[in-house]
Amino acid sequence: MSIKIILSVLFACILSLNCRKSTEIETITDTSIVGLLPVDSVKKGNYDLSLLERTIVFGSIPTVTNLKRQDLLELSGLACSKTNPGLLYTHEDSGNLNEIYITNTKGDDLGRIVLDGISNRDWEDLACGPGPENSKNYLYVGEIGDNNSVYPTINVYRFQEPDLTSASSQTVVHVVPDKLNFYYPKSPVNAESLMLDPITKDLYIMTKQVAQSNLFVARYPQSTISTTKLTQLASFPFDLLTSVDISPDGSEILVRTTGQIWYWKKLPNETVLDAMLRKPLDAPYFRNEHQGEAICFAHDGSGYFTTSETKKFPGDVAALSFYKRY
């Protein structure tokens, strides 16, 4: 065999080996990429809600104060004012007027705030706290109810808290709110629970489902121009949630149904999600509300308030229940 033939054979063998190595390396790289693809990041709060310790932070028997206005039969949201200490806001849900009602810890009728140009498709919860201007406080009205899970988008209406120093039963304040428009990543779902993190200004929505509640977030700043896709963060075993709230300093969380309340104390630098993935504590609830719909912390952290619908329960009165901090 000539030297030329031998060299040709050797060159062919070397070329073949290089091709095989290239193919093997490419295959390994592809496998590595597949292994690094994002996985489902939705977390789960896997705790047994029937086996919880009781918090001793709040008193177990509330102070109950009847509201002067007994014509408000479908109260659904509740929030304490930050701009006007001692005042509270509430509203009715689907099909009622586009109005926020003002009261105080005595249950007085202190007028109303009208959201001009906005209807009440299904307002379900309120939040109060910071927003676009650092020196201002805002009210957030959650039009998030959807009993039949049919609405492609939901809305949160945001406006600056007015000065209500001289509020009376004759007070009528007109506002034109920002409209924050959102949609769920998969399909429409019913929700009645809205909360604002006063530290990050993120908005959280928790769904109302049987034996389940999904936590979604809209990070700050929320757009007033485009429709924003909500991000699902976690799933929890709460049954038919009706309201949530975060304390004014951002350190505590309350979640409720018509028959139970749960409480978290956040650890230093802990996020809302991280806190809620820990097992909560049972919070006091006197079970004096047939259809408990709302909850909020007092503006000064001295306790928390609850209220309820009364329409379906003749003889019930619209009232505030206050659970005092020890």
Residue 180 near residue 228 (C-beta atoms within 8 A): yes
Number of domains in the chain: 2
CA distance 257 to 242: 5
Which pLDDT score, from 0 to 100, does residue 40 have? 59
Distance of alpha carbon 78 from alpha carbon 321, whole angstroms: 12
**Together in a domain, 10 and 141:** no
- Both tokens of residue 253? 């969380």
| 31 and 119 share one domain | no
Place of tokens 């020196």: 135
Whether 100 and 197 map to the same domain: the answer is yes
128 and 181 housed in the same domain: yes
pTM: 0.87
Query: Are 78 and 24 found together in one domain?
Result: no
- Between strands 172-175 and 112-115, the pairing is parallel
Q: State whether 168 and 314 are in the same domain.
A: yes
Identify any residues that bridge with 287 across adjacent strands, giving them in sequence order.
Answer: none
Residue 184 and residue 222 in one domain: yes
Tell whether 79 and 170 lie within a shared domain: yes
Long-range contacts of 200-209 (CB under 8 A, 24+ apart): 201/129, 201/130, 201/131, 202/272, 203/127, 203/140, 203/156, 204/244, 204/272, 205/142, 205/144, 205/154, 205/230, 206/236, 206/238, 206/241, 206/244, 206/255, 207/241, 208/240, 208/241, 208/242, 209/240
Residues (pLDDT < 70) of the chain are 1-40
Cα–Cα dist 326/324, whole Å: 6
Q: Are residues 31 and 56 in the same domain?
A: no
Co-location of 9 and 126 in the same domain: no
18: containing domain = 1-36
68 and 177 together in one domain: yes
| CATH number where 140 lies | 2.120.10
Q: In terms of domains, do 29 and 73 share one?
A: no
